Amino acid sequence: MTSLHDLEIGAPGPFLPPFESLIRNAKTIDSLGYASMAFPDHFAGFIPESFWTPDITPLALIQQSPHTYYEMSTIMAACAMVTENTKLLSAVTEPIRRHPVLIAQTFLTLDHISNGRAILGIGAGEIENIKPYGLDYSCQVGKLREALEIIRKIWETHEPFDYDGRFWVLKRAVMSLRPRIQDRPPPIWIAAHGPKMLKIAADFGDGWIPTLLSPHDYAEGLKTIRKYREKMGKANKFTAALWNWCVLDNDESECERMINTPLARAFALLYPSSEWKKIGHEHPFGEDFYSLRDYIPMNYDRKTVLSAIDSVPEDILHAFYMIGDSETIIKELEEYTRNGLKHIILWNATGMFDLEKTRQSYKVMKEVLEYVRQ
């Protein structure tokens, strides 16, 4: 069983303009001793632009649109150049916008730039980044499996090879760039939730990085992956990771106030309808709603979103966010580690819901980090 003091804690990598602030923040994350920086790979954000107004969030006065992202691999390279210890993780990319051969080449390049600190976090993709841009989101799980087969093949050989798949057909394809250290390509962490994806994580992953799972559900998913890996005779190191959102303050009532702000409620709509059902509620977007597959924020007008957030129950907010002071968060992390967690990305979302609480929230985060690293 993993000890809490063995747990690695990462932070979201900076991804917003201005570039000078991005570099400064990357250096700070590295100097504070975070184990990783996790970089999103998005065209579009999670919030409809119709909802991104100053009366909903003061961030609208600072950032013109919720759909503002630097390109992932470029900023990973930039951050690698100004840091020394922190791992750099894509969280996560997919093989619909990025050809699998390009993904293989990109992460070998990042492997060299970062001196072996790059991690390929990959999943089946989010429809909001696919369908609006004229790309086909269908068969996304099958596409991921084929892409991983191609990536592994490229990393294993520098000789030309053929691949005859349903989605990709390669003839005498070659990619001769090798890992910085021979036979040590970047680790692959797979974002997986459903049964087919958990099987893929076991088949191809060096790690697993889901999001928004309770300790119990996390334990069940990890148990499934371990069973698959045992059947396949895989004994190599495997990193059980997680990405969770948190709202931090020493005053619990302030955390309650912040998770009840309109923007915090809007993010909670990302919680799948299956999770709402477990708690006894129906998702306002329907009983089969699954955000990765169904949610294109640009298709929702302001009135629809305002109506939906009004129906978000308090217990859904508590399931979606980790909230509290350092002691509360540490206790929750202890529960996760008892269930096998080894690496967690904590997205401190506090400042998104109250800018004035940003500094205090990072004091709480620092206390958590220091305690775990003792």
Residues 95, 93: Cα–Cα separation, whole Å: 7
Q: Where residue 181 sits, what CATH number does that domain have? A: 3.20.20.30
Q: Residue 182 has what pLDDT?
A: 86
Please count the structural domains in the chain. 1
* Res. 80: pLDDT tops 90: yes
- pLDDT 10s digits, 29-77: 999 999 999 999 999 999 999 999 998 988 898 899 999 999 999 999 9
Q: What is the DSSP string of 208-264?
A: E--BS--HHHHHHHHHHHHHHHHHTT--S--EEEEEEEEEE-S-HHHHHHHHTSHHH
pLDDT of amino acid 163? 98
Tokens 């990890």 belong to residue: 222
Question: What is the domain extent for residue 292?
Answer: 4-372
Mean pLDDT of 163-186: 95
User: Is the confidence at residue 328, as pLDDT, over 90?
Assistant: yes
- Measure the CA–CA gap between 323 and 115, rounded to whole angstroms: 35
Looking at residue 1, its pLDDT comes to 60
**Quick one: tokens of 240?**
């059980």
Overall average pLDDT of the 252-259 stretch: 97
Q: What is the 3-state secondary structure (H, E, C) of 128-168?
A: HHCHHHCCCCCCHHHHHHHHHHHHHHHHHCCCCEEEECCCC
